[in-house]
């Protein structure tokens, strides 16, 4: 499943090809993905110039003066910019044709999604789509408010938000209303690096330890995005699969193996229905 770093890498990969381009037309090969595709996508997007590509949580927004196309990659979605005559592949559901620009021939932005858990929706100018309305701050946006959240992500923020919460800290950290984009993999890795047991009650952790945790979240996501730079070519290759990152994971997926810090066997259990791995010795 694309996590925040893959979505951010998709955004960075699309940016030079799509930003500033004018939409020539929209072709829908089916009327819906996870949800019906609103009429506005076909009626309002053609003729518009895409002046920015933004990311909020794992959503991508193609901004135009008429509104924003709101995309989510779901479990298996990918976006690629291709020559306009590239033959359709199985599961290519949406085509956004781009007019030629200075020195660049006409191209098409294609959305492919075998399992169709992705979506293409519409956000009118000045509005916030309901899916984006209650999201917490971006973990990589220390100024916070630039992403539409009212507070900035930090250890002090996590500490304040967690008071009175008796949920396990891992569940708290994966709550999109608390902070966006920390999926199962990154929650496990961040808690390992911060030395915090995923089972500990969120409300019982000190401010100092939340500062370590916030730093770990930021460092892990930043590192993953930097590694993603090597997969950018996949987004313009006609036959390349979308690039997900080889990751150096210290905890996730290593249940039963030796802790890389102390050598003891890593524990594995379900926490909030999600598989979790941690070291009972290094994480308290």
Interacting residues toward Zn ion by CB under 5 A: 259, 261-262, 279, 281-282
Q: How far is the CB of 261 from Zn ion (least distance, A)?
A: 4
Backbone angles phi, psi at 43, to 5 degrees: -85, -30
| Residue 27 near residue 94 (C-beta atoms within 8 A) | yes
Any idea what DSSP says for residue 104?
B
Distance of alpha carbon 178 from alpha carbon 167, whole angstroms: 13
Q: How far is the CB of 196 from Zn ion (least distance, A)?
A: 13
Concatenated DSSP letters of 170-192: HHHHT-TTTSSS--HHHHHHHHH
Distance of alpha carbon 20 from alpha carbon 10, whole angstroms: 17
Q: How far is the CB of 254 from Zn ion (least distance, A)?
A: 11
Which one, 165 or 261, has the nearer CB to Zn ion?
261
With CA atoms as reference, report the closest residue to 125 among 71, 66, 70.
66
Which one, 18 or 187, has the nearer CB to Zn ion?
187
Q: How far is the CB of 256 from Zn ion (least distance, A)?
A: 13
Any idea what DSSP says for residue 164?
T
Distance of alpha carbon 196 from alpha carbon 214, whole angstroms: 12
Catalytic residue among 55, 58, 161, 267: 58
Which one, 178 or 279, has the nearer CB to Zn ion?
279
Which one, 177 or 262, has the nearer CB to Zn ion?
262
Which one, 129 or 261, has the nearer CB to Zn ion?
261
Distance of alpha carbon 212 from alpha carbon 194, whole angstroms: 5
Q: How far is the CB of 267 from Zn ion (least distance, A)?
A: 10
CA 160, 164, 168, 172 torsion-angle sign? negative
Catalytic residue among 34, 211, 265, 274: 274
Q: How far is the CB of 82 from Zn ion (least distance, A)?
A: 47
- Residue 274 annotated to the active site: yes
Any idea what DSSP says for residue 242?
P
Q: What is the dihedral of CA 103, 108, 112, 117, to 10 degrees?
A: 110
H-helix segments, 115-206: 130-133, 155-162, 169-173, 184-194
- Residue 2 annotated to the active site: yes
Which one, 116 or 265, has the nearer CB to Zn ion?
265
- Which residues carry out catalysis? 2-3, 58, 274
């Amino acid at each position: 499943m694309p996590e925040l770093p893959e979505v951010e890498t998709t955004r960075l990969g699309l940016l030079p090809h799509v930003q500033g381009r004018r939409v020539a037309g929209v072709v829908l090969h089916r009327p819906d993905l996870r949800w019906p595709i609103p009429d506005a996508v076909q009626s309002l997007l053609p003729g518009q110039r895409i002046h920015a590509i933004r990311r909020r949580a794992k959503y991508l927004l193609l901004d135009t003066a008429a509104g924003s196309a709101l995309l989510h990659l779901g479990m298996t979605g990918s976006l690629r910019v291709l020559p306009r005559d590239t033959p359709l592949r199985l599961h290519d559901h949406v085509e956004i044709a781009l007019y030629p620009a200075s020195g660049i021939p006409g191209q098409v932005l294609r959305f492919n999604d075998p399992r169709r858990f992705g979506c293409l929706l519409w956000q009118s100018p000045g509005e916030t789509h309901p899916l984006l309305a209650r999201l917490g701050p971006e973990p990589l946006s220390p100024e916070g408010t630039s992403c539409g959240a009212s507070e900035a992500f930090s250890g002090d923020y996590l500490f304040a938000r967690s008071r009175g919460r008796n949920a396990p800290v891992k569940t708290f950290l994966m709550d999109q209303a608390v902070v966006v984009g920390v999926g199962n993999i990154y929650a496990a890795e961040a808690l390992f690096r911060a030395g915090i047991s995923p089972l500990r009650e969120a409300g019982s952790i000190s401010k100092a330890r939340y500062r370590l945790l916030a730093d770990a979240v930021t460092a892990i996501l930043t590192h993953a995005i930097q590694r993603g730079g090597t997969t950018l070519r996949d987004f313009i290759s006609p036959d390349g699969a979308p690039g997900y990152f080889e990751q150096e994971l210290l905890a996730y997926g290593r249940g039963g193996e030796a802790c890389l810090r102390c050598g003891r066997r890593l524990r594995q259990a379900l926490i909030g229905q999600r598989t979790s791995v941690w070291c009972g010795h290094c994480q308290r």
